[in-house]
Amino acid sequence: MQRKKSNIKPKKKSTEKKKKELYSFTDNNLILSDKGICKGNEYYRNEKIILFHGDSLDINLFNIPFIDLIVTSPPYNLGIDYNSNDDELSYEDYLKFSKKWIRNCFKWSKKQARFLLNIPLDKNKGGQRSVGADITKIAQDIGWKYHSTIIWNEGNISRRTAWGSWMSASAPYVIAPVELILVLYKDDWKKTLGTKKSDINKNNFMDWTNGLWTFNGESKKKIGHPAPFPRELPYRCIKLFSYVNDIVFDPFVGSGTTLIEAANNDRIGIGLDIDKNYCELTKKRILKEVRTINFKNA
């Protein structure tokens, strides 16, 4: 006997389901499908971190908004030897470079994403430039909203030689030994999405909401990278501005400081660097400095 063909069509998977398949958590593991979210080269991954060898200027690298918090420090265009990128652009080209990667980050960010951007206040070599003000303007033109600025007093009291006109009012130089951490956000400042689980203690909350942060910079020699920031910097940003399990992104990973602090504080760290040597350095640091056991409930 021949069976009658069924008229019932198989149900199509809903878009919601498909989205979930692209990136979701299973027992605290982040699944980032190869076909879905990133077209870059995955260099290393563990259950809390994904590191890509890639270029933050490549808009096609990620194809869905996934970022809750960005903590990053881009190249400062001070002529540092980073192996793979030119750190001596004209100021105009540096601003164009900044515009491109900041726009990409905007596209890759969720609507309640925050953007903690560590940049210089100004530039004194090769012409005086208001880097902080110029980049703030660029970010705002792209769509990032301004929240505030943290002044990082890094205690840099290295011997100064550039006085301009010594003991004369003719043309003295004023240099502030500080850097900025711009606090920007995408659509809404109030975070209503995510786990809603904060893990900052009272004293730190009170101290860090005072926007003058004082702690030392990191030793280049110790880390083996020409411009690492200290772990304290992403640590404070992550604790103050993100929820447990949020996705923390760094488009300029360097030696991996942001990823290490994200993973050690029960967030997911995702990042990229254009230089393979720094990806390798990051991987080594992760293997050494990231706690693999979850001490949260210990």
Rounded distance, CA 229 to CA 226, Å?
A: 10
* Nearest to ligand SAM of 28, 219 (CB atom): 219
Largest CA distance in the chain: 107
Check binding of 75 to ligand SAM (CB under 6 A): yes
Check binding of 55 to ligand SAM (CB under 6 A): yes
Check binding of 180 to ligand SAM (CB under 6 A): no
Check binding of 57 to ligand SAM (CB under 6 A): yes
* Nearest to ligand SAM of 229, 249 (CB atom): 229
Rounded distance, CA 73 to CA 76, Å?
A: 8
Interface of this chain with ligand SAM, residues 200 to 239, rule: CB under 6 A:
225, 227-229
CB of 254 to ligand SAM, least distance (A): 3
Grouping H, G, I as helix, E, B as strand and the rest as coil, residue 44 is: strand
* Nearest to ligand SAM of 142, 198 (CB atom): 142
- Alpha-carbon distances, residue 141 vs 66, 95, 182, 261, 263 (angstroms): 22, 13, 15, 30, 32
Specify which residues 6 forms β-bridges with: none
Interface of this chain with ligand SAM, residues 265 to 294, rule: CB under 6 A:
272-275, 278
Grouping H, G, I as helix, E, B as strand and the rest as coil, residue 99 is: helix
Cβ contact 190:203 at 8 Å: no
CB of 26 to ligand SAM, least distance (A): 29
Check binding of 264 to ligand SAM (CB under 6 A): no
Residue whose token pair is 């990133």:
38
- Residue in 142, 96, 136, 97 with CA at minimum distance from that of residue 119: 136
CB of 270 to ligand SAM, least distance (A): 13
Single-letter amino acid code for the residue at 72: T
Check binding of 43 to ligand SAM (CB under 6 A): no
Total H helices, total E strands in the chain: 8, 11
Within 13 A of 7's CA, how many CA atoms are on the CB side? Answer: 0
CB of 7 to ligand SAM, least distance (A): 53
* Nearest to ligand SAM of 37, 61 (CB atom): 61
Instruction: Calculate ∠ Cα 128-131-135, nearest 5°.
Output: 150
Check binding of 77 to ligand SAM (CB under 6 A): no
* Nearest to ligand SAM of 48, 53 (CB atom): 53
CB of 244 to ligand SAM, least distance (A): 22
Residue number with the smallest Cβ distance to ligand SAM:
254
> Residues binding ligand SAM: what is the number (CB under 6 A)?
22
* Nearest to ligand SAM of 37, 112 (CB atom): 37
- Structure-block tokens of residue 32: 């980032």
The 10 Å Cβ neighbour count of residue 197 is 10
* Nearest to ligand SAM of 144, 249 (CB atom): 249
CA 102 to chain centre: 11
- Residue in 117, 113, 185 with CA at minimum distance from that of residue 145: 185
Interface of this chain with ligand SAM, residues 83 to 102, rule: CB under 6 A:
84-85
* Nearest to ligand SAM of 68, 261 (CB atom): 261
Residues in the site for ligand SAM, rule: CB under 6 A? 55-57, 73, 75, 82, 84-85, 225, 227-229, 251-252, 254-255, 257, 272-275, 278
